[in-house]
Amino acid sequence: MRDRENVSNEVENFSEIFSNEDVSIYPNPVDKVLHVSAKFIMSKVEIYDIQGNIQMTKIAQTQKIELNLELISSGLYIVRITDTEGRIRNYRTKKL
């Protein structure tokens, strides 16, 4: 429950972040496949809806991953990336 509250609260505080020096998420907005690449090893990538409900989890252990979002409803989502040291980064994406 605590994790769900954190994700919902984070949605309200996000600016339009689609890429930075360490992470690139594209295309944004996304229709079918979301590409996530990082300069570090991602151990897990999760997709949450804006209510904090988890929609998808992928165990990665890589710097690049493709997520098929075709079956997920349109709306705003949080892409939560966990690295191999347990650090978490959150980004917003829009599903068409």
* CA-to-CA dists, residue 14 to 8, 62, 85, 95, angstroms: 11, 25, 23, 16
- Beta carbons within 10 angstroms of residue 20's beta carbon: 12
pTM: 0.79
pLDDT at 49: 97
Task: Give average pLDDT by consecutive 10-residue segment, the chain, 96 residues.
Answer: 54 47 92 96 97 96 97 97 94 95
Q: How far apart are alpha carbons 52 and 48 in whole angstroms? A: 6
pLDDT at 21: 72
Place of tokens 């509250």: 5
| Cα–Cα nearest to 24, from 79, 76, 68 | 79
